[in-house]
Amino acid sequence: MKKYLSFFRIRFIYGLQYRAAAYAGVATQFAWGGMILLMFAAFYKNSANVFPMTFKELSSYIWLQQAFLALFMSWYFDNDIMSSIVNGNIAYELCRPIDLYLMWFLKNMAVRASRVVLRCAPILLVAFFLPEPFKMSLPNSLLEGALFLLSLVTGFIVLVAFSMLIYITMFYTISPVGIRVLAVSTLEFLTGAIIPLPFFPEGLKKVLLILPFGSMQNTPFLIYTGVLSGSEALQSIFLQVIWFLLLTFLGKRFMKHALAKTIVQGG
């Protein structure tokens, strides 16, 4: 276990190096979040009665989304891992007495976590001090705050488990760009990164909530804003855990299958 932790630590500290980039990123995300809120405000003015949540809840949702963007961004892939598959360096990795799946999993988590650590605090801090309808508000109770943190972590690992499946498909297709773009844009849309899931049509929303897509960023943010509460919140966290177990099980199976067939093409 110790060696895996040190993998995590190395990547985490490595990620913390990029501080200047992070500050530029904070400014960008802040402007981005602001524009999204103004857009929703225009729709809200038009017909507030069909708005699926209150505007206050939406504001918190959008700021959380911006603050924790790095945890749930579906377009991020570790270049080391990608190129190791393409250029054959994976042969070295396979010689080591470690579980490749677990190591990649932790690497991914570490990079994402380090980005969030740098970015989330300034975004949330400023968002708390914005004028009324656009400001970020606190969760309704301490319990909901705790549930939010719990489901933030489970949602995060569900997403990483899902993106592991995308890495594994790279073993089968040498040209990685196609599948990746396809998978990323679908994932992006279905997890609610473009518009939050509550704004989806009812039928589609019901399906997505059962699928892993609803168990990523959707659950923690809705718990924080209070749209999901009480037993509903617990149920969705339970669903997150199930998806996490299922996706990692699948990922490990596929990886084993892929590695059994892997041919490193010399070089």
Partner 1 sequence: MKLYLKYAAILLKSQMQYKTSFFMTTLGQFLVSFTVFLGMYFMFDRFQAVEGFTFSEVLLCFSIILTSYSLAECFVRGFDTFSGIISNGEFDRIMVRPRNEILQVLASRIEFSRIGRLIQGIVVFIYAIPASGVIWTFDKILTVVLMVVGGFFVFSGLYIIYASLCFFTTEGLEFMNIFTDGGKEFGKYPFSIYGEEVLKFFTYVIPLALFQYYPFMYLIGRTDRITNMLLPILGMLFILPCHLFWRIGIRHYKSTGS
Q: Name the residues that contact partner 1, by CB under 8 A.
A: 21, 24-25, 27-28, 31-32, 35, 38-39, 41-43, 45-47, 50, 52, 175, 177-179, 181-182, 185-186, 188-189, 194-195, 199-201
The token pair that represents 152 in the structure block: 């933030």
The token pair that represents 62 in the structure block: 């959008």
**Is the CB of 4 or the CB of 199 nearer to partner 1?**
199
Question: Alpha-carbon distance 135 to 129, whole Å?
Answer: 6
Q: At which residue do the structure tokens 């190129």 appear?
A: 83
Minimum CB–partner distance for residue 179 and partner 1 (Å): 8
Structural contact between residues 184 and 171, judged by C-beta atoms closer than 8 angstroms: no
Q: Helix 177-190 vs helix 142-172: angle between axes, to the nearest 10 degrees?
A: 160
**Is the CB of 38 or the CB of 91 nearer to partner 1?**
38
**Is the CB of 43 or the CB of 249 nearer to partner 1?**
43
Minimum CB–partner distance for residue 75 and partner 1 (Å): 10
Percentage helix, strand, coil, to 5, in the chain?
80, 0, 20
Minimum CB–partner distance for residue 44 and partner 1 (Å): 9
Question: Alpha-carbon distance 182 to 195, whole Å?
Answer: 18
DSSP string across 133-146: GGS----SSHHHHH
Minimum CB–partner distance for residue 135 and partner 1 (Å): 17
Structural contact between residues 105 and 160, judged by C-beta atoms closer than 8 angstroms: yes
**Is the CB of 78 or the CB of 188 nearer to partner 1?**
188
Minimum CB–partner distance for residue 112 and partner 1 (Å): 17
**Is the CB of 175 or the CB of 231 nearer to partner 1?**
175
